[in-house]
């Protein structure tokens, strides 16, 4: 049985995630994991909250809480929201766990023993008014490249350039706003990525499951020349810097940089899972313990690609230990908010808690997957959201299930009818279904989600076309057996549509299966021929029409939401 390890970029702890975060990592990871489980594969889907670093401290301070309490609360909020959206992780852990701290410290020790970490004295911004060194994200200012005025000390979100705080023009403290800053010497640990450059390039060259977006970002970093990166920070919240089990001398008030410990969190969360379930984490992550037959698949937005194709691999490969590295990396562009950026820090856009209070999860899951930002950035507008939901979910899928089950219930007393021999309409349908299922599965396997959704929609549309051709309502009085055949085939189509819908709209799939009296059955990907699939439910089975699966989004709701949430950047 194929074994597939699935991870999503870890959602950061500083507040509820927006729809762009959901669309670019967590949701496609879940859709893919569900599809592979349906194929009978052994899937382990792991995620966690990313809890260390400057933004966590700043967010906790803004909330008037100590950082541990803040992270405890936010982890539970994000976990609960994920469950409401149907994100079926096998485990949702935390980078602040003891397991992750132990692993992070292990990698640091091994890398230093290999000559890939050294102590250095660096110039760093010191805030005289705050009385402390300012880690990179605590410093803001103007980007020296694009002149964006709100660049952070580690990266400019406008142009994507990686920065050091001393690069910023007119820097100021993100804590107090003070410009009373000076550059002082401070001691840190530095990861010597430059010594790994040739090895990393060879590793990227050999990668065979990455879209062009992921490879192009990796090569951009490599072609521009890697820089050795400091992996410690002057913070109190994070993984302590230790050596031989003791606080490292001179590093008592420092922790590891969040981008050093966060990717280790994929492994750390798996160890958490194993500790709680009795699972064997080594068989998923250690190639000397059975992980050699695992296919590791990562999902992330384009802004995280460089860290996962260069920095984290430098840690894993540099250890010279038998760790599993990523096989397939699916990178996404951005979902934009009316052409501008969603922003957690600036509260721009629709966030997961707001979205789930407006409409059930499957509305969002379908829309975000059908319009996944794969080939380029995708723009969210309320009008487009309304159009996609109404056309695809209400008019195509919902209309089909409603039409056939209500007609069958009223004419055949809620029982799958017998009679009739397949004819021209059924032959046409079998060809459509055979071709459609094959294509949908191919797109899922290739992680081409927009294409998979387009073919899923086409399959649903073929069901409506079949009813137009079979016309069971027209034949009921004149040819009852022909009508029975149309209804029976239509009810079997409902089951099929629930199966193909399950990866993306699982709650709706459950409702359809419950209406067919099949709620206790699992979801397996339909591998049989269309003729076998569409005769799987025999005559005599009971069914009950469900309530409306998808209510249409009306214009007045769009107007209300547009006023409430706005349209674009302010």
Indicate the annotated binding residues: 143, 146, 156, 159, 344
User: From CA 258, how far away is CA 100, in angstroms rounded?
Assistant: 12
Tokens at residue 209, please? 């499951």
Whether residue 137 is contained in a domain is answered as no
Q: Are strands 91-94 and 242-243 parallel, antiparallel or unpaired?
A: unpaired
DSSP conformation class of 319: T
Specify whether 385 is located in the same domain as 529: yes
- Judge whether 153 and 140 are in contact, CB under 8 Å: yes
Specify whether 349 is located in the same domain as 389: no
Whether residue 72 is contained in a domain is answered as yes
Whether residue 108 is contained in a domain is answered as yes
Q: State in Å, rounded, how far the first CA of the chain is from the last one.
A: 52
- Judge whether 453 and 366 are in contact, CB under 8 Å: yes
Tens digit of pLDDT at every position of the chain (570 positions)? 899 999 999 999 999 999 999 999 999 999 999 999 999 999 999 999 999 988 898 899 889 999 999 999 999 999 999 999 999 999 999 999 999 999 999 999 999 999 999 999 988 889 999 888 887 888 999 999 999 998 999 889 888 888 888 889 999 998 889 999 999 999 999 999 999 999 999 999 999 889 899 999 999 999 999 999 999 998 889 999 998 888 899 899 899 999 999 999 999 999 999 999 999 999 999 999 999 999 999 999 999 999 999 999 999 999 999 999 999 999 999 999 998 888 766 767 899 999 999 999 999 999 999 999 999 999 999 999 999 999 999 999 999 999 999 999 999 999 999 999 999 999 999 999 999 999 999 999 999 999 999 999 999 999 999 999 999 999 998 999 999 999 999 999 999 999 999 999 999 999 999 999 998 778 999 999 999 999 999 999 999 999 999 999 999 999 999 999 876 444
Specify whether 429 is located in the same domain as 490: yes
Look at residues 312, 300, 42, 265 and name the one whose alpha carbon lies nearest to residue 273: 265
Specify the CATH number for the domain of residue 354: 3.40.50.620
Whether residue 130 is contained in a domain is answered as no
Specify whether 513 is located in the same domain as 416: yes
Q: Please state, as a whole number, how many other Cβ atoms lie within 10 Å of the Cβ of residue 288.
A: 10
Whether residue 315 is contained in a domain is answered as yes
Specify whether 10 is located in the same domain as 48: yes
Containing domain of residue 445, as a range?
Answer: 381-533
- Judge whether 484 and 412 are in contact, CB under 8 Å: yes
Return the CA Rg of the chain: 27
Q: What is the pLDDT of residue 570?
A: 41
Q: Are strands 139-142 and 169-173 parallel, antiparallel or unpaired?
A: antiparallel
User: From CA 126, how far away is CA 135, in angstroms rounded?
Assistant: 9
Tokens at residue 95, please? 């980078």
Specify whether 351 is located in the same domain as 392: no
Specify whether 33 is located in the same domain as 68: yes
Specify the CATH number for the domain of residue 465: 1.10.730.10
Specify whether 409 is located in the same domain as 298: no
Specify whether 295 is located in the same domain as 415: no
User: From CA 129, how far away is CA 126, in angstroms rounded?
Assistant: 9
State how many domains the chain has.
2
Specify whether 426 is located in the same domain as 339: no
Indicate the annotated binding residues for ATP: 344
Whether residue 180 is contained in a domain is answered as no
Indicate the annotated binding residues for Zn(2+): 143, 146, 156, 159
Q: Which residues is 183 bridged to in the sheet?
A: 125
Specify whether 355 is located in the same domain as 386: no
Whether residue 120 is contained in a domain is answered as no
Specify whether 328 is located in the same domain as 467: no
Tokens at residue 569, please? 């950047």
Whether residue 548 is contained in a domain is answered as no
């Amino acid at each position: 049985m194929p074994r597939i390890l699935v991870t999503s970029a870890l959602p950061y702890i500083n507040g509820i995630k927006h729809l762009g975060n959901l669309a670019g990592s967590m949701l496609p990871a879940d859709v893919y994991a569900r599809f592979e489980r349906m194929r009978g594969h052994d899937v382990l889907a792991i995620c966690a909250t990313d809890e260390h670093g400057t933004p966590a401290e700043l967010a906790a301070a803004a909330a008037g809480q100590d950082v541990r309490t803040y992270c405890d609360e936010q982890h539970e909020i994000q976990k609960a929201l994920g469950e409401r959206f149907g994100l079926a992780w096998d485990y949702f852990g935390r980078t602040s766990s003891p397991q992750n701290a132990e692993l992070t410290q292990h990698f640091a020790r091994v890398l230093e023993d290999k000559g890939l970490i050294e102590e250095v004295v660096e110039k760093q911004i010191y805030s005289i008014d705050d009385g402390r060194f300012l880690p990179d994200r605590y410093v803001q200012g103007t980007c020296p490249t694009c002149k964006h005025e709100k660049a952070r000390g580690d990266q400019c979100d406008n142009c994507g350039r990686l920065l050091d705080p001393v690069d910023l023009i007119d820097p100021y403290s993100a804590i107090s706003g003070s410009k009373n800053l000076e550059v002082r010497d401070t001691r840190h640990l530095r990861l010597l990525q430059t010594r790994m450059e040739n090895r990393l390039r060879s590793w990227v060259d050999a990668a065979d499951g990455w879209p062009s977006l992921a490879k192009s970002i990796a090569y951009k970093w490599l072609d521009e020349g890697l820089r050795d990166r400091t992996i410690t920070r002057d913070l109190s919240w994070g993984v302590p810097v230790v050596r031989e089990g003791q606080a490292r001398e001179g590093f008592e008030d420092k922790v590891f940089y969040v981008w050093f410990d966060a990717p280790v969190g994929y492994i750390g969360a798996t160890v958490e899972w194993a500790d709680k379930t009795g699972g064997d984490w080594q068989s998923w992550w250690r190639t000397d313990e059975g992980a050699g037959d695992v296919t590791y698949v990562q999902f992330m937005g384009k802004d995280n690609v460089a860290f996962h194709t260069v920095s984290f691999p430098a840690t894993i490969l540099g250890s010279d230990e038998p760790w599993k590295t990523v096989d397939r990396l699916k990178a996404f562009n951005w979902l934009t908010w009316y052409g501008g950026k969603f922003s957690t820090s600036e509260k721009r856009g629709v966030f997961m808690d707001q979205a789930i209070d407006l409409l059930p999860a499957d509305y969002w899951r379908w829309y975000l997957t059908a319009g996944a930002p794969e080939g380029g950035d995708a723009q969210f507008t309320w009008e487009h959201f309304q159009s996609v939901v109404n056309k695809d979910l209400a008019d195509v899928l919902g209309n089909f299930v409603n039409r056939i089950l209500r007609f069958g219930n009223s004419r055949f007393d809620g029982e799958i009818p017998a009679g009739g021999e397949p004819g021209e309409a059924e032959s046409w349908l079998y060809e459509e279904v055979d071709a459609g299922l094959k294509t949908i599965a191919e797109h899922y396997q290739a992680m081409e989600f927009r294409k998979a959704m387009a073919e899923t929609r086409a399959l649903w549309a073929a069901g409506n076309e079949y009813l137009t051709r079979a016309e069971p309502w027209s034949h009921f009085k004149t040819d009852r057996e022909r009508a029975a055949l149309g209804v029976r085939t239509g009810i079997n189509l409902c089951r099929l549509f629930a199966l193909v819908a399950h990866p993306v709209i699982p709650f709706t799939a459950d409702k359809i299966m419950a209406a067919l009296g099949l709620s206790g059955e699992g979801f397996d990907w339909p591998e049989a021929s269309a003729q076998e699939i569409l005769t799987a439910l025999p005559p005599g089975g009971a069914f009950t029409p469900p309530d409306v699966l998808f209510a249409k989004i009306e214009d007045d709701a769009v107007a209300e939401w547009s006023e409430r949430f706005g349209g674009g950047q302010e």
